[in-house]
Amino acid sequence: MQASKRRLALKVRIGHILVYSILFGGAMLFLLPFLWMFSTAVKPIEQTLSSSSWLPYRDYVEQKGQLVPVGNHQKVPVEATRIKKIKPQWGNFVGAIKAMRHFPLYLQNTLLLCFLTVIGMVFLVRWWLMGFRV
Partner 1 sequence: MTRGERRVLWVGLAFISPWIIGFLTFTVYPLAAALYYSFCDYDILSNPVWVGTLNYRDLVADHVFWRSLYNTLRYATFFLPLGMLLSLLVAILLTQSIKGRSVFRLTYFLPCLVPVVASAMIWLWMFNSRFGLLNRALAKMGIDGPNWLTDPHWAMPSLILMSLWGIGNMIVIYLATLHDVPKHIYESTDMDGASFGRKLWHITVPMISPVIYFNLIMGLIGSLQVFVQPYIMVPDGGINRSALFYTVYLYEHAFSYLNMGYASAMACILFLLIFFLTWMATCSIQKRIYYAGE
- Give the interface with partner 1 as residue ranges (CB under 8 A): 15-16, 19-20, 22-23, 26-27, 29-34, 36-37, 40, 49-50, 52, 128
Considering beta carbons, is residue 76 or 124 the nearer one to partner 1? 124
Considering beta carbons, is residue 52 or 66 the nearer one to partner 1? 52
Rounded CA separation 43/50 (Å)? 11
Backbone phi and psi for residue 42, each to the nearest 5 degrees, phi listed first: -110, 15
* Residue 22 CB, nearest approach to partner 1 (Å): 6
* Residue 81 CB, nearest approach to partner 1 (Å): 26
Rounded CA separation 117/120 (Å)? 5
Considering beta carbons, is residue 71 or 120 the nearer one to partner 1? 120
Query: CA 46 from chain center: how many Å?
Result: 19
8 A C-beta contact, residue 60 and residue 83: yes
Considering beta carbons, is residue 80 or 92 the nearer one to partner 1? 92
Rounded to a whole number of angstroms, the CA Rg of the chain reads 28
